[in-house]
Structure 1
């Protein structure tokens, strides 16, 4: 699915109701602020710790920021479920991961950074030894949720991941 240059990867362009209206290269989608699709997968290990990482400085969007999800854009013609598994395995550097479980979906507005995107949030347990993709992950660790929560005010987090995390926490608490 991945193109040699990430900005050349073709994505489905969708509307406010998540219906496909066309296709365009990722660079054009971002430049024109077109609505597209992304996956966010919260990964927990056998001890229920959450995979946290810092993005590489070469990322097209939100470089060098921390994230509590793996994931990425959904390719043209790809389902959210297929993209979630592909992205999780790629970023974690594993194969044979269980299928991520969908939890919720929302429309995120990057407020001028790269448009809006439908954000499908998943959960998966990874008991495999991870070898994160060096092109995507500069640093990583599995953190207890209490430590992750303590770091929210200290580290620079990707805003879309933070929005997804807040929605996931509210969902778990019975608020949606």
Structure 2
């Protein structure tokens, strides 16, 4: 199936379903939908970082420190996180990602409820070639050092800063169960 044809739940400002639309239409019209972000770390605690392929409809060729994607119609955040992490990392038997918090991402053009998860994955990873053009595992310090010298996906960058605040125990997040 063409990813643009995937049916998504369209949600309101409270993350309640108000309709459905194909992914391509939701993106083109800026309809609010649901996404998952999964921070994947290797057994040494390094973060999976990658560059998106140039064929991606949203933020092509940008760098990201999360794997993830849209939540399909009727799919739970938790199920989407497991599916997306498994697909993008190419790791069989991946444990279910742990839900951390969710927030509403809005940048004027894009709007989606975003649920941030974390997972440890065994090596080697075999990233999905349709999604990932380059990848590496970086320490927290290496990632911080590279934040200023690359084009990072803006929603992932916001999720990253919110995750750091979450871990530091600061406010500025919307927590809830991974439905």
Output the TM-score relative to the length of structure 1: 0.95
1:99 aligned partner = 96
Pair 1:152 & 2:147 matched: yes
Unaligned runs of 5+ residues in structure 1 are none
Deviates more, 1:121-130 or 1:154-163: 121-130
Alignment length, in residue pairs? 171
1:56 aligned partner = 53
1:26 aligned partner = 23
Unaligned runs of 5+ residues in structure 2 are 172-179
Map 1:77-96 to 2 at 5 A.
77-96=74-93
Task: State how far apart, in whole Å, the 2-side matches of 1:166 and 1:72 are.
Answer: 18
Displacement of 1:86 after TM fit?
A: 0.1
Counterpart pick for 1:174 among 169, 172, 178: 169
Output the TM-score relative to the length of structure 2: 0.94
Q: Is the 8 A contact 2:91 2:121 kept in 1?
A: no
Displacement of 1:128 after TM fit?
A: 3.4
2:159 aligned partner = 164
Displacement of 1:111 after TM fit?
A: 1.8
2:107 aligned partner = 110
Q: CA RMSD in A?
A: 0.7
The runs of at least 4 consecutive aligned structure 1 residues that moved more than 4 Å come to none
Displacement of 1:34 after TM fit?
A: 0.7
2:138 aligned partner = 143
Counterpart pick for 2:127 among 120, 132, 149: 132
